[in-house]
Amino acid sequence: MKDFFRRLKYYGLGFTIGAIMVVFMFDNKGCSWFPSNRVKDNLFNRMIVVNASSFDEIKEQGFTESGFLKTVQAGSVDFGKSKKQGLDKVYRIDYETPKGKKNHCFMTMGDESFMTEIIFSPKKAKQITPTNSDAELPGKILFIPKNEFLFYMDSSSVLAEKMKSIGIKNDKELNSLIRKNARFNFSRSYLSQHPKPIHCLQFNVSKRSKETLFVKCIWYKDKIKVYDLTIETLDF
Task: Domain count for the chain, please give it.
Answer: 2
CATH number for 201:
3.10.450
Predicted confidence (pLDDT) at residue 31 exceeds the cutoff of 80: no
Are 215 and 193 part of one and the same domain?
yes
CA atoms of 63 and 74, how far apart (whole Å): 14
DSSP, collapsed to helix, strand or coil, labels residue 193 as coil
Q: Would you say residue 98 lies in a domain?
A: yes
Residue 13 placed within a domain: no
User: Does residue 136 share a domain with residue 65?
Assistant: yes
Pairing state of beta strands 102-110 and 88-96?
Answer: antiparallel
The answer to the question of residue 5 being in a domain is: no
Q: Which of 114, 143, 172 is the last residue of a domain?
A: 143
pLDDT, tens digit, for every residue of 103-118? Answer: 999 999 988 999 999 9
Q: Are residues 200 and 164 in the same domain?
A: yes
Give the closest residue to 197 by CA, choosing from 231, 227, 230, 160.
227
Query: 138 and 156, same structural domain?
Result: no
Assigned domain for 77 exists: yes
The 10s digit of each residue's pLDDT in 164-218 is 888 888 899 999 999 999 999 998 999 888 889 999 999 987 766 678 999 999 9
pTM of the model: 0.81
**Would you state the pLDDT for residue 121?**
80
Q: What is the extent of the structural domain holding 111?
A: 35-143
Task: Output the 3-class SS for 47-106.
Answer: EEEECHHHHHHHHHCCCCHHHHHHHHHHCEEEEEEEECCCCEEEEEEEEECCCCCEEEEE
Residues 191 and 115 occupy one common structural domain: no
Domain identity same for 135 and 186: no
Same domain, 103 and 202: no
In terms of domains, do 137 and 61 share one?
yes
Domain termination site, one of 109, 143, 177: 143
Of 88, 111, 143, the residue that ends a domain is 143
Produce one character per residue of 18-53: b if its CB has 16 or more CB atoms within 10 Å, e if not.
Answer: eeeeeeeeeeeeeeeebebbebbeebbebbbbbbee
Q: What angle do CA 91, 96, 98 make, to 5 degrees?
A: 135
Domain shared by 65 and 138, yes or no: yes
19 within domain boundaries: no
Least confident interval from 1-15, 135-149, 159-173, 179-193: 1-15
Say yes or no: 138 and 155 in one domain: no
| pLDDT over threshold 80, residue 61 | yes
